[in-house]
Homo-oligomer: A and B are copies of this chain.
Amino acid sequence: MEERKVDVAIIGSGSAGLYALGKVKPSGKSFVLINGGEAGTTCARVGCMPSKAIIQVAEDYHRRSIFGRYGIDGHQQMSIDTAEAMEHVQDLRDTFVDRVLSNSTDNMGEEFIEGYARFVEPNVLEVNGERIQADKIIIATGSTPIIPKAWKAFGDRLLTTDDFFEQEQLPSSMAVIGLGVIGLELGQSLHRLGVDVVGIDMAENIGGLSDPEVNKAAIEIIGKEYPMWLGAAVEISETESGKLLVTAGDNSATVDKVLVAMGRTPNLESLNLQATEIPLGDNGIPLYNPNTMQVAELPVFIAGDVDGERPLLHEAGDDGRIAGYNAVSDEVTAFRRKTPLNIVFCDPNICHIGVRFEELDPDTTAIGQIAFGPVGRALIMGKNKGLLRVYADKRSGKLLGCEMVAPKGENLAHLLNWAIEQQLTVGEVLQMPFYHPVIEEALQAALYDLYGKVETKNETPVTELIPL
């Protein structure tokens, strides 16, 4: 059998693998990049990008519901051609996938291998019958949507993001199981595009919210658009007409299709990890240090969705950078990870930043909040629904985190996340300019509320200003 020797082998040419490559390539070390399955990143193919495209169409179409408020006529006669909408989504997706490929694996030559890699020895991989011996190995194989085994019998009436964006037509009715990021983004969009949608989750919270007040507001606001069944396990069975009967607690509905959005599982099976000394956690995922991305003390690194944490593009990027840098360095460097930033692009956006509500110590934490009802700009936008709650250390006034369901939450989230990264206090943030009338003033109002509850105040006679 042929054997190739390289300094670094990267398994997986998704986002994390490509970011790792970005550190390996300029190092001058020899390498291979191996990819099994479809080319293109999860993000561009079936994740962030096509989901934002369908959200945009759905939001534009949904917007007609407020046109009557101010003299825009003819909106009652508007309709949506969902086949055309899906084609638009697919066109955009193809653009994004092509862009990724042309900037990465296209024309890479023999350093790129298409095929599934499996370990045959701790530092030897086999791909397409070729043995590759690598001093360092980076595992960046990504993840796959979870479908409970018993449901596989329902065949193509069950969709995940892997096949959803391939649909040429939308069904007339659909259950969305799982109300995390994907379930909320697609469920609401499908409803807005005319699909009869029900959202279902065994949990009582949606979009990963842990603050009960924000969660309640989110369920109230979004749940007004389409029904949500929370807190009961779901069962699916087939009806005589070949449709699917979906039941959860006392609720049931007959639907054409089910979108399964119950999370993703790391792609580890085909790697044959038993041929290595890689120690696995209880969840079957290699034990690794998130600051170095090194697996145990081995010359193995891991990055991206496969590591089971922070399944977000910008975090996969950092994973890949750290893994790639450490794989080509003599010593392993530990890096500080960024303040958590999570955005669900439903409408209003759901965001959580920094320390989660459920992780706070109630004795040492102060909470400020704003409901969006009276927020001027939100009112003008016709989007004055939401709740933002921001947390700080009561004694020092340092910002800790935030959970929100908010119009333009994605932008507020960046502003606040960067303030937390800077370790700013509530008082310090109140010294920043807030223009008028902008949605950022909602954050300002929540911060004023919070400022009244923390012990550390600005050492200036005017809160908002710093003496010269």
Contacts and interface: CB of A to CB of B under 8 A. Distances in A.
Contacts of A322: 462, 465
- For the residues of A in contact with B, the DSSP-based class is helix
A329 interface: yes
Nearest to A77: B74
B71 A321 contact: no
A153 interface: no
Contact of A413 (B95, B334, B435): B435
A457 interface: no
Contact of A433 (B49, B338, B435): B338
A411 B408 contact: yes
B77 A71 contact: no
A458 to B, nearest CB: 12
Given A70-B85, A435-B314, A56 B462 contact: no
B78 A433 contact: no
A422 B428 CA distance: 10
Contact of A436 (B53, B313, B336, B436): B313
A92 to B, nearest CB: 6
Contact of A329 (B418, B434, B461, B468): B461
Nearest to A74: B78
Contacts of A210: none
A439 B322 CA distance: 25
Interface residues of A, number: 88
A333 B468 CA distance: 8
A193 to B, nearest CB: 9
Interface string A198-232: 00000000000000000000000000000000000
A15 B178 CA distance: 48
A336 B465 contact: yes
Nearest to A324: B462
Contacts of A467: 333-336
Residue of A82, A318, A334, A410 with most partner-chain B CB within 10 A: A410
A221 to B, nearest CB: 20
Nearest to A292: B468
A468 B71 contact: no
A380 interface: yes
Contacts of A325: 461-462
Interface stretch (A57-65, A107-115, A392-400): A57-65
A226 B244 CA distance: 54
Interface in A416-461: 417-419, 421-422, 431-440, 460-461
A88 interface: yes
Given A56-B381, A74-B74, A382-B56, A48 B437 contact: yes
Contact of A56 (B23, B89, B380, B432): B380
A387 interface: no
A71 B84 contact: yes
Given A314-B434, A314-B436, A333-B461, A414 B417 contact: no
A13 B252 CA distance: 60
A43 interface: yes
Nearest to A316: B436
A104 interface: no
Interface string A324-358: 01000100011110110101000000000000000
A116 to B, nearest CB: 27
Contacts of A146: none
Contacts of A52: 377, 380, 437
A305 to B, nearest CB: 14
Contacts of A164: none
18 contacts: A63-B63, A67-B78, A69-B88, A71-B80, A71-B81, A72-B85, A318-B465, A329-B461, A333-B461, A336-B467, A336-B468, A410-B438, A411-B438, A414-B415, A414-B435, A414-B438, A415-B415, A421-B432
